[in-house]
Amino acid sequence: MGQRDELVGVAESLERLAAVSTRGDWQVEGLLATRPEVVAHFEGGATEHVAEARAGSARWIAALSPALVEPLAAWLRAAAGQEEIDAAALSFARALRQRLPQ
């Protein structure tokens, strides 16, 4: 398998995994700071606690665990060091920045 095929294959696997995971915009909420909850928000105002949809969320959470921080941060730094900034890397960084805690 070539490198391009490898990249496309991983992208497709990620899309398949997202398709069977809890949908919506996940946000950290909760009444107690010591017991935060992850809540999925859907169009129309409906919500669902991600923990209650565990079967659909567990593989997604495990796949995107903190173990990915090193290669992900390295990719963003490598993209920042290029003569021409990769538009996909910049788009990802901007989307992620909006979701990261301040």
pLDDT at 7: 81
Calpha distance 11→62 (Å, rounded):
16
Together in a domain, 11 and 45: yes
Domain shared by 57 and 31, yes or no: yes
Residue found by looking up tokens 């910049």 in the block = 90
Question: Residue 71 has what pLDDT?
Answer: 96
pLDDT tens-digit map of 23-67: 999 998 877 777 888 999 999 999 998 887 787 888 888 899 999
- Write out the two tokens for 60: 């997604």
Residue range 67-90: average pLDDT?
95
In the block, residue with structure tokens 């796949």:
63
Q: Rounded mean pLDDT of 93-98? A: 94
User: Are 31 and 1 found together in one domain?
Assistant: yes
Query: Do both 72 and 101 map to the same domain?
Result: yes
| In the chain, alpha helices (H) | 3-19, 54-63, 69-80, 87-99
My answer on whether 71 and 55 are in the same domain is no
Tell me which residue range forms the domain holding 11. 1-64
What is the pLDDT, as a whole number, of residue 35?
A: 83
Domain identity same for 31 and 77? no
* Average pLDDT across the chain, whole number: 90
Residue 12's pLDDT band, with cuts at 50, 70 and 90, is very high
Entry pTM: 0.78
Together in a domain, 27 and 14: yes
Sheet with 37-41, side-by-side order of all strands: 25-29, 37-41, 47-49
